[in-house]
């Protein structure tokens, strides 16, 4: 007796709902091999997740891929278009991982080019671009339209757990880039009842602490603007997109674009930096909070904890909401944000670069 395929009894809208819940682009590629009906429905999904988990060399990518169509590319896609723009950033910061190794020009854009109904797309890189010297922490979340709208950065010189072991991270080397930071620092009234001592505030200025935090900020903005630059083809090819996220498996950085920001990116010309490998960072205003040490839930401690909230200088004061800053990171780092914003605030400005 022939086996009955119960999927044949499901209407297309139900199958499409299941495929949208599946989301993973590789799993969707496998579904295309099931039947013609599945293939046609897969290309109608409006939600997809692309996990970039491999880098293929130019030599391997030179093999003939013809004859297998889109989904042969899907199973063998590489991160050429994602990695290449980060090579300049890699040179600026020094080595962390071999993400920026020799890669082919084959683009992940080809993987999703036939998905014409995409509304929500999430791309995950195999790791963050930045490392930190001495077991430090660096996390960021940025929103972009045609250029940077806002960004939140959380960093610490070192992270300790109950066993006083440094947080997992690798070396970050610093070099200079053409950008100007205003010398002006305005201090606002302290918001917490336990302000840092005069000696700790003084050391923030005199021991290189401020300079180091400016470098952390510049590094994060370069990483974010490089990611934004590489998304332009995807944004152009998929006018139905309403949400686009580019993150990494380490949870280091997240770039977000909503429907209005995606529309702005399509309508306004892209402002490229002089390196042409990233979007130009506009003039920005920043708020910086600092604590010599923070104790977080779970026995985690942050030494030299720093929070930076950044917005474009031409934005209205209310443009970046407190909710965006408060919700930028998951626990335990969400608690770190809530503790830091109660402390003394330092105001800075940075010119475009």
Task: State residue 7's pLDDT score.
Answer: 77
Asked whether residue 94 carries a pLDDT value surpassing 80, the answer given is no
Measure the CA–CA gap between 248 and 25, rounded to whole angstroms: 16
pLDDT band at 181 (very low <50, low <70, confident <90, very high): very low
Higher pLDDT, 64 or 233: 233
Pick the closest to residue 226 from 170, 142, 309 (CA basis): 142
**Rounded alpha-carbon distances, angstroms, from residue 339 to 9, 43, 193, 208:** 55, 46, 11, 23
Residue 189, judged by CB atoms within 10 A of its CB (0-12, 13-18, 19+), counts as: exposed
Measure the CA–CA gap between 166 and 164, rounded to whole angstroms: 6
Cis peptide leading into residue 332 (ω within 30°): yes
Find the length of the chain.
353
Query: What pLDDT digit, counting tens, does each position of 29-53 carry?
Result: 999 998 999 999 999 999 999 998 7
Task: State residue 298's pLDDT score.
Answer: 87
Residue 132, judged by CB atoms within 10 A of its CB (0-12, 13-18, 19+), counts as: buried
Instruction: Give the mean pLDDT of 224-250.
Output: 94
Measure the CA–CA gap between 189 and 343, rounded to whole angstroms: 9
User: Which DSSP category does 61 fall into?
Assistant: H
What residues pair up with 180 in beta bridges, in sequence order? none
Q: Which helix (H) or strand (E) holds 247?
A: strand 243-248
Measure the CA–CA gap between 275 and 281, rounded to whole angstroms: 12
Task: State residue 321's pLDDT score.
Answer: 66
Query: What pLDDT digit, counting tens, does each position of 108-124 carry?
Result: 688 898 999 999 999 99
**Rounded alpha-carbon distances, angstroms, from residue 107 to 28, 64, 84, 263:** 18, 15, 10, 23
Pick the closest to residue 26 from 46, 57, 54, 49 (CA basis): 49
pLDDT band at 9 (very low <50, low <70, confident <90, very high): confident
Highest mean pLDDT range out of 126-130, 197-201, 285-289? 285-289
Task: State residue 290's pLDDT score.
Answer: 94
Contact 230, 82 (CB under 8 A): yes
Measure the CA–CA gap between 84 and 58, rounded to whole angstroms: 12
């Amino acid at each position: 007796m022939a086996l009955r395929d119960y999927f044949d009894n499901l209407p297309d809208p139900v199958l499409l709902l299941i495929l949208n819940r599946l989301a993973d682009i590789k799993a969707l590629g496998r579904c295309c091999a099931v039947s013609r009906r599945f293939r046609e429905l897969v290309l109608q999904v409006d939600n997809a997740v692309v996990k970039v988990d491999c880098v293929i060399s130019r030599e391997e990518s030179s093999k003939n891929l013809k004859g297998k169509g889109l989904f042969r590319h899907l199973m063998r896609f590489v991160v050429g278009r994602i990695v290449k723009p980060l090579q300049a950033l890699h040179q600026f910061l020094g080595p962390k991982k071999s993400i920026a190794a020799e890669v082919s020009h084959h683009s992940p854009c080809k993987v999703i080019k036939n998905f014409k109904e995409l509304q929500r797309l999430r791309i995950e890189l195999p790791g963050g671009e930045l490392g930190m010297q001495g077991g430090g922490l660096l996390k960021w979340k940025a929103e972009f339209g045609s250029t940077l709208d806002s960004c939140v950065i959380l960093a610490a010189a070192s992270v300790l757990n109950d066993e006083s072991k440094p947080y997992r991270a690798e070396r970050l080397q610093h070099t200079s880039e053409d950008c100007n930071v205003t010398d002006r620092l305005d201090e606002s009234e302290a918001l917490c009842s336990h302000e840092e001592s005069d000696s700790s505030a003084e050391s923030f200025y005199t021991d290189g602490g401020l300079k180091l935090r400016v470098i952390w900020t510049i590094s994060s903005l370069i990483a974010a603007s490089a990611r934004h630059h590489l998304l332009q083809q995807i944004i152009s090819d998929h006018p139905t997109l309403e949400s686009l996220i580019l993150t990494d498996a380490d949870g280091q950085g997240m770039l977000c674009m909503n429907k209005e920001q995606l529309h702005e990116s399509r309508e306004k010309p892209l402002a490229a930096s002089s390196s042409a490998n990233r979007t130009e960072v506009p003039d920005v205003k920043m708020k910086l909070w600092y604590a010599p040490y923070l104790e977080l839930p779970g026995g985690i401690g942050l030494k030299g904890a720093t929070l930076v909230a950044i917005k474009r200088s031409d934005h209205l004061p209310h443009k970046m909401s407190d909710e965006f800053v408060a919700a930028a990171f998951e626990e335990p780092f969400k608690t770190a944000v809530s503790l830091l914003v109660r402390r003394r605030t330092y105001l800075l400005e940075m010119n475009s670069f």
